[in-house]
Every structure is written in C-alpha cells, then in structure tokens.
Amino acid sequence: ALCQQARFTLSAAKVNQCPEDRGWEIAFAGRSNAGKSSALNTLTHAQLARTSKTPGRTQLLNFFRLDDERRLVDLPGYGYAKVPIPLKQHWQQHLEAYLVQRHSLKGIFLMMDVRHPLTPFDQMMLEWAQSTQMPIHILLTKADKLAFGAAKTTLLKVQQQIASLEADISVQLFSAPKRQGIEEAYEVMSRWLEL
C-alpha cells in the first residue's frame, strides 16, 4: 500500500511553512498518550512519529510524503502537560489556522484510548468537524487492553454518540501490537486520498 511508503518531509511551525497546498492530506490528531505515534508507525511501517514526541524539539506539524500529491500529517498531541502555556497557545492558534485554511486536508484520523474515549478535547474536535463538514475517522486505540466484549461495548457507545451528530464521522477498534484494524483504516485512507 502507498501508505507504507510514507517518508518524513518537513516540520512546520506555521501554516506558511507547510508544503504546497495541493493534492490530498490526512491529519492525525489525539490526546497525548492516546497512541497516535504507534498508530502512525503501524499504518506506515516506519518509525515516523518519534520526532514529534519531545516538546521543545517539537514543531507544530510533521509532514510525511506518500507521493507527489499525497501526505500524512502528524499534529501535536493535545493536553501535553509538559508543554508551557505560551507554547500551547502558539500551537492552538497555528493548529486552528492549519485546520481552517488547508485545502488539501481531506480528513482527520482522531486517536482515542479505548479506555478513555470522548474527552472534552475529543468532543471539541467532533463539534468542529460537524460545523465545518470535515470527515473524522476515530481509532479506538489499545483495543488489546480490554476484553473483546468490553472493547465492542465501547465501540457501540461511541457509534451511538457520533450518530447523533450530523457529520461524517466513523469509528473503529485498533491495536498497534496486535495489528488489529489496519485493513479498516487503510480502506478509509484510500478513500480520502482517492487512491
């Protein structure tokens, strides 16, 4: 799959440092520790997301090229306690600018720990998606940490919640170590990237 050929292109601290805004782009978002890096690495077969882990070294947006027209973007994990407030405000401002302005952004993969889904920030992202008609695909990560029945129950609960929003939001279970949910995720990525 094309997604496996992802390779790091650049980090951008501001929207005007992003690659040219053409083609198709999927952004990966989630609360810190939700499993965003692990999901990205599992889906791309590469240690792509390490760079985005250390605050200070961290830039706002890390771009990974799939081909001339297609990219994956690693957004900063939100709720990262060690990030100083001014940096958080800086991020929020530029992140919003990216989300609102970026034409090539076709959808967002939102990682949520299956044991703690729908945090206030997750809810905010979903409401924003609803208001802007931006598609969101939720990965309920670390599905291996729950028994099958419990994971399935959470999946159904989240499905019910998003069904009440009039938005293009979908959800699935995912586990990086078990490599669970990869095909389902690829199906969504291929559709959004028009592969």
Which DSSP category does 14 fall into?
A: S
Does 51 help bind ligand GDP (rule: CB under 6 A)?
A: no
Choose among 54, 57, 59, 74: nearest CA to 7.
74
Does 108 help bind ligand GDP (rule: CB under 6 A)?
A: no
Q: What is the DSSP string of 109-129?
A: EEEEETTS-S-HHHHHHHHHH
Does 15 help bind ligand GDP (rule: CB under 6 A)?
A: no
Does 151 help bind ligand GDP (rule: CB under 6 A)?
A: no
Give CA torsion, residues 89, 133, 23, 194, to 10 deg.
130
| Beta-carbon contacts of residue 124 (< 8 Å; ≥ 6 apart) | none
C-beta of 105 vs 112, nearer to ligand GDP: 112
Stretch that binds ligand GDP, among 64-72, 147-155, 156-164, 174-182 (CB under 6 A): 174-182
Does 145 help bind ligand GDP (rule: CB under 6 A)?
A: yes
Does 142 help bind ligand GDP (rule: CB under 6 A)?
A: yes
SS3 letters across 36-88: HHHHHHHHHCCCCHHHHCCCCCCCCEEEEEEECCEEEEECCCECCCCCCHHHH
C-beta of 37 vs 58, nearer to ligand GDP: 37
C-beta of 36 vs 70, nearer to ligand GDP: 36
- Minimum CB separation of residue 106 from ligand GDP in Å reads 21
**Residues of this chain that bind ligand GDP (CB under 6 A):** 30, 32-38, 77, 111, 141-142, 144-145, 175-177
